[in-house]
C-alpha cells in the first residue's frame, strides 16, 4: 500500500500536530510506502534526511503551494505510487485531496483535531475557513473516512452534519522509549535546581491552557509548601501577561519560564517534574481555544508522572480520572490546589497514578498502536473506495 500524507504542519515546525504526523509517518513507513508532502520550512533539509520515508517539500504561499501539492499527487498517481491520501486537516490538505477524488477517483481520509472544524469569525484565518463552509462539507462528504482524535472532537464533526458512522475515533500515541521515567540524573537536576517539589506545564502560552489558574493556586493555597517550583515550557501570546500576573501575586520567584525546549531536552524536563499540571479550559465563545486531546498529557504519562488536568474538551480521553491523574473543575483554584497538594504530599499516590499512566500508554497509546489503527482503516478504505 502506498500512502501520501498531506500536511501544513510538519517538523521542523513546532507543535503537537507536527510531531504527531511525523511519528505516524515513521511508524507507517515500516509497513508500507509513505510519501509526505509538506511546506518548505527553514531547517527542513537536515531533519528530512534522517527520515526513512520520502518527504517532498513544496514551496510557495497558500494557493500556489496547494496547486503544487496537487501536481505532485497527480504525478504520484500516474506513476502508480498512490493508493490513499491521508490529510492532516480539512483545510487545506483535505481540499486538495477532494480535487484528487473528483478528478482521479483517489480515496482519502481526513484528520480532525478540534476547533478547526467549527465555524466562527474570531480570527482572519477562521473567518476564511467559515466562508468556505460549502467546500468543507464537500471535503467531508467525499472523503472515505474522518478520523477524530477524541470523542469530543467527534461531537464537533457530527455537529457539522457528518454521519457518525463515517467518523473513527483514533487517539494519538507517543514513543514510550523516548518519554520514560529513567534517564540522566545530572540532566534532571539541571532543571530541578534543588527544588523539593516541581510542577510542570508544557504547552503553548495561550489563554485556555490554565497557566494563570496554576499561578493563582501557588499564591492562594500552595504558598506554604517550601521548595516549590513551577516550570513553564512553551511560548505564545500570554507570556507577558503571565509574568505580570506572577509578579502581582508575589510568586514570580517560584516560576521559571523556559520558552521553547529543544526536542532532545523535553523527555528530561518531564522526568524533572513531580506533577504535570495543565488545567485547560473551554473559554466561552472561543472555539479557537479548545483542547481536542492534549498530546502533552500522554508524554507526561509515558514519563510516569501523575497529572492534574481539567474536565472538558478531549482531555477526558487523555487522562483517566483517579487512575492516571486527577480531573478538576476548570478555573476552580481551590480544587486545583487541593489536587496538586494531595499528589505532592502523598508520594505513594502520585507514584501509583504515574505507573498506571505509563502502563496505559505502553499497552494502548504508543505511536505504533496509533499507526496500526490508521493502517487498518487505510486498508479497508483502499479495498472499498468512496464514491
Of the candidates 287, 315, 314, the residue with the CA atom closest to the CA atom of residue 129: 287
Where does CATH 3.40.50.2000 sit in the chain?
2-173+366-383, 185-364
Neighbouring residues of 296: CB distance < 8 A, sequence distance ≥ 6: 16, 202, 203, 276, 278
Report whether 304 contacts 358 (CB < 8 A).
yes
Taking the CB of residue 284, how many other CB atoms lie within 10 A of it? Answer: 5
> What fold does the segment set 2-173+366-383 form as a domain?
Rossmann fold (3.40.50)
Tell me the C-alpha distance between 80 and 86, whole Å: 17
pLDDT, position 382: 86
Report helix, strand or coil for 87. strand
Cα 53 to Cα 24, 32, 56, 72: the distances in Å are 11, 10, 10, 16
pLDDT, position 237: 94
Neighbouring residues of 225: CB distance < 8 A, sequence distance ≥ 6: 196, 197, 341, 344
Cell of residue 319, nine digits: 487522562
Angle, to 10 degrees, between the axis of helix 16-28 and the axis of helix 367-383? 70
237 secondary structure, DSSP code: T
Peptide bond into 12 cis (omega under 30): yes
Q: pLDDT per residue over 45-79, tens digit each?
A: 888 988 999 999 999 998 999 999 999 999 999 99
pLDDT, position 34: 97
- Cell 503571565 found at: 242
Tell me the C-alpha distance between 59 and 37, whole Å: 10
Q: Point out the residues of the chain with pLDDT beneath 70.
A: 285, 287-288, 384-387
Angle, to 10 degrees, between the axis of helix 347-364 and the axis of helix 333-344? 100
Thinking of the domain 185-364, which architecture would CATH place it in?
A: 3-Layer(aba) Sandwich (3.40)
Amino acid at each position: 500500500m502506498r500512502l501520501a500524507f498531506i500536511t501544513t504542519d510538519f517538523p521542523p515546525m513546532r507543535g503537537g500536530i507536527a510531531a504527531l504526523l511525523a511519528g505516524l509517518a515513521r511508524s507507517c513507513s515500516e509497513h508500507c510506502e509513505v510519501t509526505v508532502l509538506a511546506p518548505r520550512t527553514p531547517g527542513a533539509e537536515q531533519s528530512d534526511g534522517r527520515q526513512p520515508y520520502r518527504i517532498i517539500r513544496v514551496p510557495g504561499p497558500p494557493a500556489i503551494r496547494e496547486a503544487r501539492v496537487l501536481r505532485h499527487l497527480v504525478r504520484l498517481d500516474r506513476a502508480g505510487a498512490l493508493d490513499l491520501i491521508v490529510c492532516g486537516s480539512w483545510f487545506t490538505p483535505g481540499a486538495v485531496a477532494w480535487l484528487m477524488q473528483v478528478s482521479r477517483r483517489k480515496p482519502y481520509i481526513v484528520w480532525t483535531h478540534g476547533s478547526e472544524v467549527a465555524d466562527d469569525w474570531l480570527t482572519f484565518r477562521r473567518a476564511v475557513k467559515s466562508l468556505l463552509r460549502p467546500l468543507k462539507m464537500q471535503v467531508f462528504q467525499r472523503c472515505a473516512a474522518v478520523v477524530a482524535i477524541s470523542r469530543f472532537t467527534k461531537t464537533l464533526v457530527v455537529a457539522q452534519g457528518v454521519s457518525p458512522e463515517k467518523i473513527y475515533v483514533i487517539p494519538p500515541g507517543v514513543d514510550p522509549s523516548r518519554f520514560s521515567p529513567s534517564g540522566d540524573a545530572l540532566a534532571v537536576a539541571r532543571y530541578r535546581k534543588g527544588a523539593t517539589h516541581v510542577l510542570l506545564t508544557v504547552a503553548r502560552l495561550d489563554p485556555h491552557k490554565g497557566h494563570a489558574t496554576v499561578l493563582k493556586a501557588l499564591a492562594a493555597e500552595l504558598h506554604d509548601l517550601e521548595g516549590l517550583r513551577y516550570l513553564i515550557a512553551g511560548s505564545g501570546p500570554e507570556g507577558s501577561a503571565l509574568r505580570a500576573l506572577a509578579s502581582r501575586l508575589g510568586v514570580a520567584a517560584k516560576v521559571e519560564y523556559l520558552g521553547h525546549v529543544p526536542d532532545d531536552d523535553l523527555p528530561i524536563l518531564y522526568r524533572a517534574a513531580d506533577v504535570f499540571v495543565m488545567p485547560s479550559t473551554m473559554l466561552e465563545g472561543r472555539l479557537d481555544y479548545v483542547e481536542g486531546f492534549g498530546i502533552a498529557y500522554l508524554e507526561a504519562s509515558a514519563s510516569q508522572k501523575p497529572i492534574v488536568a481539567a474536565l472538558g474538551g478531549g482531555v477526558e480521553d487523555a487522562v483517566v480520572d483517579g487512575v492516571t491523574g486527577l480531573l478538576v473543575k476548570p478555573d476552580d483554584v481551590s480544587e486545583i490546589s487541593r489536587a496538586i497538594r494531595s499528589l505532592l504530599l502523598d508520594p505513594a499516590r502520585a507514584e501509583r497514578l504515574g505507573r498506571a499512566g505509563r502502563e496505559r500508554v505502553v499497552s494502548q497509546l504508543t505511536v505504533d498502536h496509533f499507526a496500526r489503527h490508521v493502517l487498518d482503516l487505510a486498508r479497508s478504505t483502499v479495498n472499498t473506495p468512496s464514491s
